[in-house]
Each structure stands twice: as structure tokens, then as C-alpha cells.
Structure 1
């Protein structure tokens, strides 16, 4: 789930498809890619070469689409800024596997809130581990991730924190 026009998203996805996805495809996994913007020819070619991968593009209702998912993968090795898609995945309680860059600025505890893997092969291994985990373990991780986001990134929390900063700045 991303903007294809942001090169860090496309480049990360290509890297994952080349180096991490083949092991998962060989184990029968499927991957659906959702995003907006123009897909580069390099990304389109990599998707076409990859087994069990569908490029859905724009999805009208993300929540309906997300209901059927078993995991989310955030293969982001470069980039900065607000990681809204990461916050969205963590809030959804869907087990999430991402890079350190994907979780940058979010106090994720690896293994508690999400799986953190900084290479495409490691990402694939984490997805395989998730697939073999007991349902209770996966559900506990999803619930912990949701609590993390609600406690640290909800509208109420962000507004209150911003208000505290404004008071400090105003006080000089």
C-alpha cells in the first residue's frame, strides 16, 4: 500500500520482490500490491516476473480489502517523514513486517508490536515465522500494535502534545 510515484516505495518493493518474495511464492504465498500513482516500468516488469503477485492499484475501500489479509509488508529502505501507512497497518492489528526505516519515529518493540527486518530475505523469514505462529501470538502482537498507536499517535495524544509544546514556546 503506497504511492508508486515516490521512488523509495517502488525501489523497496522491487528489492523485496527480487530478493525476499521468491521464497514466499515457492511456499504458496500470494501478494497483493495496492497503491496510487504511476508505476515505473521497472516495477511493472518486476511484478510481471514475480509469481503469485497481483497489482491491484487503487482500491476503493481499503478496510474491506484489508479484512482478508494475513500480514502487511513494508519494504522501505530509504525515505523520511511521517510514515502514515505504517501507522495505518499497526492500527489495523494486521501482523506487520517492516524495515527499521519503515518504523522510524514509531517506538515499535520488535516481536511485541511488529517484526523488524532490514533485508528482504529476513522479511521473508519473518513472514514465514508469522505464518507458523499460533493465532494467539499473532493476535496479541496485533493488539499491542494497536495500543501503541492509540496511546502515542491518536488525535487526542498528538493535539495534547502539540499544546504542551506551544505552551513551552509561548513561555519562552
Structure 2
């Protein structure tokens, strides 16, 4: 089977959730004997020279990148807001060079499936129509993220803009459902959300997969070594950390003054610009090796208040046997059980109660960590999920 994957950002190095989801599935399909071509935008925010991609990666996947300027420009944003019904989030990814590269790629190869990694690739669907089946691999239900951000925004002008943006993205998601042939959400919750938008498409839920052999487990003595890892320029992460530092961290500092939080993620200046680090928070910045960072810590916090899809970093932490404390939204789509595979905390009191339990008894850290790893192994193996997706595609090609 020949599959063309379109992406709005080059998925290397695979450090954030979107990059990991795109790359792992591409590799999984290739290892199941599909001929995989990845045509990706190479943006300033995520730029990586195509010539420097690892040889072992290029041996498995044919990768082509196109430089695309997606920088947010205030004048264009304002004009879009006033005179367009198209969401600015999607307009930024409209590129004539990328469209030309796509059309050339389609002229050179007969693909069975063109897999879109997200709805912001809607503009390119007319170039694909009639040449292959079009599948949308939806990493999130995008309009829900922006709707929740709007609901939590205190600035009236910003809240007005975010509400309007959320409505536009919802209309875009409805539009793309009418243009594609197949829908591949990454969680049951997102699948139900797409159902509510109205469509009659064949659907297969395929979570983000992991190769668990890449995630070694290190024994720990039950010590609490708190950590957070995630893109610090992503709105939901910023919102969640604001809540955590405002509502939870002061009480943690009061009860356990020796406890530190190690914070890792790209572009910390986006979040900490003009702010002081809270006491006992150690800023690591963007780490070169996330697995090495996980290795030195034991308890991961995921204080997300907004989001959909699946949090890739939770899967990685669980695969390494780490204890995860997450909001219900943060752990959404995983299917993991509270107290069995991870801990759910939606209020400051719940966070403190869980930490008290972990402080007084070391066995929950060890037991939940091992059960978490087994859970990932049984439910998120990338080769099993890739085989499932291939079978789905084959059924639709008959």
C-alpha cells in the first residue's frame, strides 16, 4: 500500500506530541511494509534542515519538506478577523509552494491513501480529489480546545476573539468532514465529538502508538521527584501551569518545603517572559533527550484544563513506569484507570491528597508505575495499531 502523509510541521526531532504522533505512525506503517511518503511543511517555529534528517529515518520513509512561513503577523490576523470567515490558524498554512510540491508528488506516484495530519490542511484537498482516498488523522478536536480557552479567558477582548476563532474552526472541521473519505481520530471521545458535528464517514479510532522497547524502566525507591514536560509555547500548557502555580504549588511548598518541580519544554521564554520562577521550580528548558529527563524523575504532573486527543507525554511517562498525576481532561482518551494506572486530580485538594498518600507510602509510586507500563504495552503498541489502520484502509479501498 502506498500512503502519502501531509503534515504542517516536520516531525523531527520528535519532541512534542504532534511530531511524535505523526512520526511514530509513519514509521509503524513503513515497518508493516507500506510505502510511506511524508510531505511536510518546514516552518520557522519547528525548522529542521531536511539534509540533516537521520539516515535510518530516510531509509524507512521518503521525506520531502517545503519551507513555509507561518509566523503570526498582526496585520494579517486583523484583516482575517475583519474580512474572512476562514480561521487564521488555517490561513497561516496556505502555501502555493507546498501546493505545487503536493501536486508534483501526486503526479509522480499513484497513492492509495493521502493521510492529512490535522484539519488545517483543508485547503489542499481539491488537489488530491480523484487521485487517492483522503483520510483525516485528527490529533484533537480543535474547536473544543479553543472554545475552552475562550471560556477561561478573563480579558473581554481576547475572550471575544477566541470565541469567534473557535466557531470558525468548528465550521472548518464540519467542512473537512464533508470533503474527506475516511476519519481516523485518536480517541473515542474525539470520535464522539466528530459524530456530533455530523458525518457519515467510515471511522477507525487509532491512538498514538509507542514502541515500548524504546522506553527503559529504572527502579526507584519511591521518592517523589516532581516533573512537568510539555511545550511552553502551547496555550493549554500555559493555562494549566498558571492554575497549578496559583492554586496548588503554594500549598505544596507549605507542606513539603523541600519538594522541587523540574520543568522542561520548548520555548520557555513564551511562558516566563517577564515572570519570576516560583520558589523551588527548576527550569530545564527544552531537553535534548526526553527519555533521559524522565529517567531522573518519578512523578509527572499534567495540570491541563483544556485539550482533546491523547497526551503523548503521559504515554511516554507511563511506558517508563512513572507515576502520573493528571487532570481528567489531561488524561482524556487514554482509558487509564484512576488509582490503577495513574492518579486523577481536578482540584487543589485532590492534588494534595494524592501527594500526601505518595509521601507516606512509597508503594503506590512503584505499583502504579509498573501497571502503567503494562497498560501502554497492551493498548498502545505502534505495530499493532499500524496493522489495524492498514486493515481499515484496505477495507475502504475494495
Which bin holds the TM-score, normalised by the shorter protein? Answer: 0.7 to 0.9
**Residue of structure 2 aligned with 1:39, choices 269, 282, 287:** 269
**Residue of structure 1 aligned with 2:296, choices 68, 80, 87:** 68
The answer on whether the counterparts of 1:91 and 1:149 sit within 8 Å (CA) in structure 2 is yes
Corresponding residue number in structure 1 for 2:245: 17
How many angstroms apart in 1 are the aligned matches of 2:338 and 2:273? 29
The answer on whether the counterparts of 2:233 and 2:271 sit within 8 Å (CA) in structure 1 is no
Q: Residues 24, 43 of structure 1: CA spacing in aligned structure 2 closer, same or farther, 3 A cutoff? A: farther
How much has 1:11 moved relative to structure 2? 0.9
Aligned residues: 168
The answer on whether the counterparts of 1:74 and 1:99 sit within 8 Å (CA) in structure 2 is yes
Which digits, 9 at most, give the CA deviation of each residue in 1:112-169, with x for residues without a partner?
000001124422331232222233x322211111111111111122113213422443
How many angstroms apart in 1 are the aligned matches of 2:321 and 2:274? 29
Q: Residues 164, 119 of structure 1: CA spacing in aligned structure 2 closer, same or farther, 3 A cutoff? A: farther
The answer on whether the counterparts of 2:323 and 2:342 sit within 8 Å (CA) in structure 1 is yes
The higher radius of gyration belongs to 2
**Residue of structure 2 aligned with 1:118, choices 346, 354, 361:** 346
The answer on whether the counterparts of 2:310 and 2:334 sit within 8 Å (CA) in structure 1 is no
CA-atom RMSD, angstroms? 2.0
Q: Which has the higher contact order (CA 8 A, sep 6+)?
A: 1
TM-score, length of structure 2 as denominator length: 0.40
How many angstroms apart in 2 are the aligned matches of 1:99 and 1:44? 27
More helix as a share of residues: 1
Range with greater deviation from structure 2 (60-69 or 7-16): 60-69
Corresponding residue number in structure 1 for 2:281: 53
Which digits, 9 at most, give the CA deviation of each residue in 1:66-123, with x for residues without a partner?
2221311011110123311111111121111001111111011000000001124422
How much has 1:35 moved relative to structure 2? 0.3
What stretches of structure 1 of length at least 5 have no aligned partner?
Answer: none
How much has 1:44 moved relative to structure 2? 5.9
The answer on whether the counterparts of 1:5 and 1:38 sit within 8 Å (CA) in structure 2 is yes
How many angstroms apart in 2 are the aligned matches of 1:77 and 1:9? 8
The answer on whether the counterparts of 2:340 and 2:368 sit within 8 Å (CA) in structure 1 is yes
How much has 1:65 moved relative to structure 2? 2.5
- What is the SS of the residue equivalent to 2:265? strand
What stretches of structure 2 of length at least 5 have no aligned partner?
Answer: 1-228
**Residue of structure 2 aligned with 1:94, choices 322, 341, 349:** 322
- What is the SS of the residue equivalent to 1:160? helix
- What is the SS of the residue equivalent to 1:124? helix
